[in-house]
A and B are shown apart, each in its own frame.
Chain A
Amino acid sequence: MIYFVRRFAVFLLTLWAAITLNFIIPRLQPGDPAERIVRRLNPNSRTVDPNQVEAVRKMLGLPDTNIFEQYLQYLQTLVRGEFGVSYSYFPFTVTHMIGQTLPWTLVLGAVTLFIGFVVGTLLGAWAAWRRNGPFDSVTTLGATFLGTLPSFWIALLLLYVCAFKWGWFPVGGGYSGDAQPGWNWAFISSAFEHSVLPAVSILLFAPIGWILGMRNNMVTILGDDYTRLAKAKGLSERRIALWYGARVAVLPNVAGLALAVGGILGGSVVIEQIFSYPGMGRLLFEALRDGDYPLMQTVFLFIIIGVLLADLVADFLYGVLDPRVRRGG
């Protein structure tokens, strides 16, 4: 019980520290959000009209209280679950904008992460068990080669070749403008069609880390005393590899998975930006570019809570998978 209470206290403390940093960091950025918005409204003009900036500043109600009061206000609104009005999407609230974009990112990110993890871990385990065999060589070399390619670069090439040159897939966006969003086949098929290239761009890379990580861990484990001992005891190789080896070797991967869940959003920024995908990664990019503090903070808050929760879960999973950990606390 004490274990749980302590874990939870640490969780809260980390949360507080991260939330505080989350408040401070964006505010140290140079520039004026109102001016950035006016600049974005007139993308072809290098000069902004100071009068318009002034009006936007009044519209956003940019705070001129001191930073400490702002911080208290920020904590209060967080506790109440109010995230305020987005600057770059005024007058829409942050919650509204996240509600619009989160599903896209979550589905794309979660599906690709899940597939990547399962496929990658299995392939890695298999490769380690049959190490130095043809399967191992093909998998590790293939994964290695793929892993060396910069993802933004692959995404750009996919966009250009598959979408633009060959016209197999749409050039960007989340769905065709002709399809009306809702429960209809035209829209769903259009959304699927639009998600293929972004998903492929992610899936090309998603399993790699898991493959190599799993293989490395498992190869180490298989070289250990107790696996040798198991072998000497006459246990079947398959049983050793999959029961002893894989079970222990998957531990770091599970820890990694927890982090990867929090990383979905960060990782989606590049892909969503390239494919003009209407998800949260793109929203985050815009928030960063436009100095949209309320939106930025809320998105990061989601990331922080996601990672911390995933971390907590991972700690418990560790205990389940490797009983020795529990003793150590």
Chain B
Amino acid sequence: MSMLQQGETPTVSDALPLDEEGAVEQQTRANRRFRVPGWLGILWENRKSRVGLVMLAIFLIVAVFAPLFSPHDPRSNDFAPNLDPGSGHLLGTTTKGEDIFSQLVYGARTSLIVGVVGGLLATAIALVIGLTAGYLGGTVNEVLTFFINLALVVPILPLIALLSAYAPGQGLWVVILIIGLTGWASGARLKKAQILTLRSRDYITAAVFAGEGLWQVIFREIMPNMISLVVVGFMGSAMGAIGAEAGLAFLGFGNPETISWGTMSYWANNQGALVTGQWAWLLAPGLALSFLIMALTLVNFGVDALGNPQLREE
């Protein structure tokens, strides 16, 4: 039965606040104007998230077509070491004699993969556990809260140090997995908190009295009100995953042979980029990271509008 109920809400526009008549109206308008998925339309309408989407698209293109953009093999260390920017290498070379620009281009791949996969994983787990715990309450809540708390307190640093050491060559996927598996807990907590306040709302009570089933209430009544929290949560998890990968790599936990912006910073720091004055080596990965995260954050502004029509820019 619950499966059927779920099947009745296939479109995202349906999932938008049903208790907000204005929203539905606005949504349909948006749909009419853009022959694109409704949510993308709303995002695009927002100036900030439009900028974010464009930036994200650029990163995506660079990441997918990395071999086209990078002038050299990022791992090749055939060049003279410590070259300054310019000099045939846009951003110079590392102390190992690798082309920094090529590494930067390939680093986009790593960060995007980490962000998307890690973020999705964390959000999915958070959503299922948070919703169930928050709505059902009682023993289920107790048990799930137990797991949430456990996941929150598991020492993540040695876990990653440990698992990446045991998975040579696949360090990145292991890091993603760990970040995803450990990163859901705080999201689940927030969602549980949100649902605790939502479930006592009058319209939910009304829906329950009207005889709506459990999953119906969760997905039709509660989910729409949480959509912004969920998407913001995903963006947060994605950013968190990207940041965590970079931070861990910077500290030297993780596989230093992965080409990512974090490992670039790790090597730049450990090989004395500041001492030798190779600014580009240290600046570039940090800036790239911040642009990517900025893109996601800008998109986030539009996501707010998904859940709260009052925020939509006219």
**Contacts known (A29-B165, A153-B289, A252-B194); A270 close to B155, Cβ less than 8 A:** no
B146 engages A21 (CB within 8 Å): no
Taking the closest CB of chain A, its distance from the CB of B157, in whole angstroms, is 6
* Interface contact A150-B246, CB-CB below 8 Å: yes
Q: A152-B265, A303-B155 are in contact. Are A251 and B193 (CB under 8 A)?
A: yes
B186 touches which of A144, A259, A318 (Cβ 8 Å): A259
Say whether A325 contacts B197, CB under 8 Å.
Answer: yes
Whether B250 and A311, one on each chain, are in contact in the complex, defined by CB atoms closer than 8 angstroms, is no
**Shortest distance between the CB of A248 and any CB in chain B (Å):** 6
CB contact between A13 and one of B19, B146, B197, B203 (< 8 Å): that residue: B146
Partner among A26, A164, A220, A303 whose Cβ is within 8 Å of the Cβ of B153: A303
Chain B hits for A255, CB < 8 A: 189-190, 193
In the complex, how many angstroms separate the beta carbon of A245 from the nearest chain B beta carbon?
12
Q: Which of B67-75, B84-92, B114-122, B306-314 contacts the other chain?
A: B306-314
When distances are taken between beta carbons in the complex, the residues of chain A under 8 Å from B293 are 147-148
Task: Contact check, A328 vs B200: say whether CB atoms are below 8 A apart.
Answer: yes
Compute how far the CA of A144 lies from the CA of B293 in the bound complex, rounded to whole angstroms: 9
Question: Do B166 and A18 touch (CB < 8 A)?
Answer: no
B228 within 8 A of A: yes
Cross-chain contact A259 with B165 (CB below 8 angstroms):
no
Which of B7-15, B28-36, B101-109, B137-145 lies at the interface with chain A? B137-145
Q: Choose from A216, A225, A266, A304 the contact partner of B19 (Cβ within 8 Å).
A: A225
Task: Flag whether A149 is at the interface (Cβ < 8 A).
Answer: yes
A251 near B197 with CB under 8 A, answer: yes
CA distance A203 to B312 in the complex (A): 31
Q: Collect the chain B residues with CB atoms within 8 Å of residue A273's CB.
A: 251
Set A149, A153, A328: member contacting B199, Cβ < 8 A: A328
Q: Could you tell me if A149 and B161 are in contact, using CB atoms closer than 8 angstroms? A: no
A46 within 8 Å of B (CB atoms) = no
With A273-B251, A324-B200, A328-B199: A252-B193 Cβ-Cβ less than 8 Å? yes
For residue B124, give the distance in angstroms from its CB to the closest CB of chain A.
Answer: 20
Given A148-B290, A225-B19, A255-B193: A308 in contact with B153 (beta carbons within 8 A): yes
Query: Of residues 133 to 173 in B, which have CB atoms within 8 Å of A's CB atoms?
Result: 137-138, 142, 145-146, 149-150, 152-159, 161-162, 165-166
Q: How many A-B residue pairs have CB under 8 A?
A: 160
Question: In the complex the two chains form, is B190's CB within 8 Å of A266's CB?
Answer: no
- Check: B291 CB closer than 8 A to any chain A CB: yes
Separation in Å of the A127 CB from the closest CB of chain B? 12
Q: Name the distance in Å between B123's Cβ and chain A's nearest Cβ.
A: 16
Q: How far apart are B53's CB and chain A's nearest CB, in angstroms?
A: 15
Which A residue's beta carbon lies closest to that of B252? Answer: A289
Q: B113 at interface (Cβ–Cβ under 8 A)?
A: no
- Docked complex: B3-53 residues within 8 A CB-CB of A: 19-20
Report A-chain residues with C-beta under 8 Å of the C-beta of B309: 223
Instruction: Mark each residue of chain A from 122 to 159: 1 if its CB lies under 8 Å from any CB of chain B, else 0.
Output: 00000000011000000010001101111111101100
Q: Which residue of B lies closest to A304 (CB)?
A: B153
Contacts A150-B286, A220-B228, A220-B308 given: A307-B193 contact, CB under 8 Å?
A: no
Output the nearest chain A residue to B159 by Cβ-Cβ distance. Answer: A25
B282 within 8 A of partner (CB): yes
Interchain CB contact under 8 A, A328 and B282: no
Tell me whether A248 and B289 are in contact (CB under 8 A): no
> How distant is B130 from chain A, measured CB to nearest CB, in Å?
11
B36 to chain A, nearest CB (A): 24
Interface residues of B in 275-314 (CB under 8 A from A): 282, 285-286, 289-294, 297-298, 301, 304, 307-311
A1–B177 alpha-carbon span in the complex (Å) = 40
| A6 CB within 8 Å of chain B | yes
Are A10 and B194 CB-contacts (below 8 A) given A145-B294, A307-B153?
Answer: no
Q: A residues within 8 A CB of B154?
A: 18, 21, 25
Instruction: Encode B165-192 as 1/0 by CB contact (under 8 A) with A.
Output: 1100000000000000000001001100
Q: Which residue of A lies closest to B157 (CB)?
A: A288
Determine the distance from Cα of A157 to Cα of B142 in the docked complex, in whole angstroms.
46
Binding site for B on A (CB under 8 A): 6, 10, 13-14, 17-18, 21-22, 25-26, 28-30, 131-132, 140, 144-145, 147-154, 156-157, 160, 164, 216, 219-220, 222-223, 225, 248, 251-252, 255-256, 259, 262, 266, 269-270, 273, 284-285, 288, 296, 300, 303-304, 307-308, 311, 318, 322, 324-325, 327-329
3 tightest Cβ-Cβ pairs between the two chains A and B: A153-B286, A148-B294, A148-B293
List residues of B whose CB falls within 8 A of some A CB. 19-20, 137-138, 142, 145-146, 149-150, 152-159, 161-162, 165-166, 186, 189-190, 193-194, 196-197, 199-200, 203, 228-229, 232, 243, 246-247, 250-251, 253, 265, 269, 274, 282, 285-286, 289-294, 297-298, 301, 304, 307-311
Beyond A28-B162, A150-B246, A223-B309, list 6 extra A-B contacts (CB 8 Å). A14-B149, A25-B155, A148-B292, A153-B285, A219-B311, A296-B158
9 A-B pairs whose Cβ atoms sit less than 8 Å apart in the complex: A144-B297, A147-B293, A147-B297, A156-B269, A164-B274, A219-B311, A222-B310, A304-B153, A324-B196
